[in-house]
Amino acid sequence: SIYEMSGNECCLSTGEVIKVIGFKINKLIASICEDNEVSQFSAKVELPLNFPGLYKIVADTTPYVSIEEITRKVYIGPTRFGHPCFYSPEDIKLANFTVKPGEHITFNSVEEVSGTMAVNCVVVRNNQSHSFTLPLSQEGKFYECEDDQIYTLKEIAEWKIPKCRNRIVRLSNTLHMWDFSNPLPENFDGCLILMPVYEVQAVMKFRKDIVHILSDLDVEVKDITDCYDISSFLQPLSLEDVFERTSMEFPMVAEIIEGPSGSHKPYNVLSTGKEIVVHKKYQAVRILASEIRSDSPKRHFLIPMSYKGKFKRRPREFPTAYDLEIARSEKEQLHVVATKAFASPHKELFSVSVGDQFLVQQRQTSEILYEGRKKVVDVLACEQILSDTYKKVLLPMYMEGGFVEVIHDKKQYHLSEICKEFRLPFNVKVSVRDLSIEEDVLAAVPALQFEEEITDSYLLISSASSPVECWEIPVHRLNMLVHLLSKDVQRLVPPVTKTTVEEISKEQYYMVRRYENQTLHPPPRPPKKPT
Q: Are 125 and 269 part of one and the same domain? A: no
Question: Strand 469-474 and strand 496-498: pairing?
Answer: parallel
User: Which one is predicted more confidently, 5 or 387?
Assistant: 387
Domain assignment of residue 529, yes or no: no
Hey, is 421 helix, strand or coil?
Answer: helix
Domain assignment of residue 7, yes or no: no
Q: Are 307 and 433 part of one and the same domain? A: yes
Domain assignment of residue 105, yes or no: yes
pLDDT in tens, 509-530: 877 775 333 334 444 444 455 5
| Of the listed ranges 94-98, 287-291, 463-467, the one predicted with least confidence | 463-467
Point out the domain boundary residue: 404, 438, 459.
404
Residue 279: the pLDDT is: 92
Q: pLDDT tier at 212 (50, 70, 90 boundaries)?
A: confident
Residue 498: the pLDDT is: 80
Domain assignment of residue 120, yes or no: yes
Q: pLDDT tier at 208 (50, 70, 90 boundaries)?
A: low
Q: Are 283 and 329 part of one and the same domain? A: no
Q: Are 332 and 306 part of one and the same domain? A: no
Q: Are 41 and 160 part of one and the same domain? A: yes
pLDDT in tens, 84-136: 999 999 999 988 889 999 999 999 888 888 888 999 999 999 888 999 999 99
Residue 27: the pLDDT is: 86
| Of the listed ranges 27-41, 46-60, 61-75, 265-279, the one predicted with least confidence | 27-41
pLDDT at 307 over 50: yes
Q: What residues make up the domain containing 133?
A: 21-199
Domain assignment of residue 419, yes or no: yes
Q: Are 192 and 63 part of one and the same domain? A: yes
Within 336-483, residue ranges assigned H as helices are 415-421
Mean pLDDT of 425-454: 91
Q: Are 181 and 47 part of one and the same domain? A: yes
| Overall domain count for the chain | 3
CATH number at residue 393: 2.30.30
Q: Are 48 and 119 part of one and the same domain? A: yes
Domain assignment of residue 224, yes or no: no
CB distance 457 to 283 below 8 Å: yes
The winner for highest mean pLDDT among 11-25, 303-317, 398-412 is: 303-317
Q: Which residues of 227-255 are buried (b: 16+ CB within 10 A; e: fewer)?
A: eeeeeebbebbbbeebbeeeeeebbbbbb
pLDDT at 7 over 60: no
Mean pLDDT of 417-444: 90
Q: Are 159 and 25 part of one and the same domain? A: yes
Domain assignment of residue 495, yes or no: yes
Q: Please name every residue paired with 357 in a beta bridge, in sequence order, or none if there are none.
A: 337
Mean pLDDT of 268-281: 88
Domain assignment of residue 337, yes or no: yes
pLDDT in tens, 324-356: 888 888 778 899 999 999 888 888 888 899 999
Residue 390: the pLDDT is: 94
Q: Are 262 and 354 part of one and the same domain? A: no
| Of the listed ranges 84-93, 380-389, 428-437, 460-469, the one predicted with least confidence | 460-469
| CB atoms near residue 407 (< 10 Å) | 13
Dihedral of the CA atoms 116, 119, 122, 123 (nearest 10)? Answer: -90
Q: Are 37 and 113 part of one and the same domain? A: yes
d(CA 513, CA 75): 22
Point out the domain boundary residue: 404, 435, 467.
404
Residue 132: the pLDDT is: 93
Q: Residue 4: is it exposed, middle or buried by C-beta count within 10 angstroms (0-12/13-18/19+)?
A: exposed
pLDDT at 264 over 80: no
Q: Are 439 and 512 part of one and the same domain? A: yes
pLDDT in tens, 132-190: 999 999 999 999 999 988 888 888 888 889 988 889 998 877 655 555 566 777 777 77
CB distance 40 to 124 below 8 Å: no
Point out the domain boundary residue: 373, 404, 435.
404
Residue 15: the pLDDT is: 81
